[in-house]
Amino acid sequence: MRILIALAGSAGGVLLLWLVFGFLVFQKFLSRKAADPCREMAKKWTAGEATDPNSPDERFLIDWALAHHTEPVSMQSRDGLKLIGTMFRQSQPGSPWVILVHGYTCNKETMAYAAQKFYDEMGWNVLAVDLRGHGESEGKTISMGWLDRLDLTRWTEWLAAQNPGCDITLFGISMGAATVMMTSGEQLPAAVKSIVADCGYTSAADVFAHNAKVILHLPAWFVLPPANLFSRLLAGFDFWEASALEQVRKNTRPLFLIHGGSDNFVPTKMIYPLHEAAGGDVRMLVVPGAGHGEAVQKDDTYWAQVFAFVGAQLDRVPERS
């Protein structure tokens, strides 16, 4: 009997340690604190300061953003969070809109590179949003695109209501790409004409399983169950339910999937089942030698291909002033 009690006590202790480990993993990767570095970067950019004084690209984007009139906007999520966005509006009426969705632990300011391209080269209006738990938006946790899909759906509804007859494209990078893909399976306004997803993952479970091995050097079976328990309790979503793969099966809109051919953070192999499963008119671009989020840097035709794809879906071609 004493042996059984000792074994039970040991098992209970191991289980407790496993749960504590799961909580620490959750706190490290899914709490709002994970996005703190990008919030500090956004403060510097707003003040006109570069995080890297030797980067001409960063200086250019800061100066570009400061030189253009912006409109701060906000919206309430279905569960009561205040979500924040920034609009760059063209003077030409009737211009299409793009909603830009940032990656994991980033914020709307990190999408300045895409905002500048869509605004200057395409003549489009831009709405860049902070996902829940990021930037200026409320929320204590990161939901890997799953709860964000409902928030993004609300942004599309709000934007379509504010601009009757407009055309809208969704453009996301990394977790933002997973978010727009997850959103593709929802009921969206007819104004949403196309979706561009650059280096998104198949599901939260898949990307965590991969990075458990790469970052933590631990097997997925050990890391995911306890971390997922706290995700369900504290963040309100399940790793396995948060599936872009299942959501794109319900997609009916033109979808452009992009990935770097040497992506080790969100493995390149994830684009292939997404491409195979997706409904609607689907196009795929894999850029050789590009790491995570580097397709835009490695392929000189990146923007030409994106603009040709989204432009072909418009109900009307905007006039350039």
Q: pLDDT tens, 107-159?
A: 999 999 999 999 999 999 999 999 999 999 999 999 999 999 999 999 999 99
Q: Which DSSP category does 34 fall into?
A: G
Centroid of chain to Cα 213: 22
Residue keyed to tokens 């990146």: 302
Q: Which residues contact 117 (CB under 8 A, 6 or more apart)?
A: 303
Question: In which residue ranges of the chain is pLDDT below 70?
Answer: 1-14, 54, 315-321
Query: What does the pLDDT look like over 148-180, one tens digit per residue?
Result: 999 999 999 999 999 999 999 999 999 999 999
Query: Angle at which helices 220-230 and 2-30 pack, to 10 degrees?
Result: 70
What does the alpha-carbon distance between residue 309 and residue 259 come to, in Å, rounded to a whole number?
Answer: 16
For residue 76, what pLDDT is reported?
96
Check: CB of residue 218 under 8 Å from CB of residue 24.
no
Domain ranges of the chain: 35-203+242-311
Q: Which residues contact 261 (CB under 8 A, 6 or more apart)?
A: 268, 286, 287, 288, 289, 290
Q: Tell me the whole-structure pTM to 2 decimals.
A: 0.92
What does the alpha-carbon distance between residue 168 and residue 304 come to, in Å, rounded to a whole number?
Answer: 18
What does the alpha-carbon distance between residue 144 and residue 200 come to, in Å, rounded to a whole number?
Answer: 11
Tell me the three state secondary structure of residue 318.
coil
Q: Which residues contact 279 (CB under 8 A, 6 or more apart)?
A: 248, 249, 250, 251, 252
For residue 58, what pLDDT is reported?
75
For residue 314, what pLDDT is reported?
87
Q: Which DSSP category does 31 fall into?
A: B
For residue 321, what pLDDT is reported?
45
Q: Which fold has domain 35-203+242-311?
A: Rossmann fold (3.40.50)
Between strands 97-101 and 125-129, the pairing is parallel
Tell me the three state secondary structure of residue 260.
strand
For residue 251, what pLDDT is reported?
97
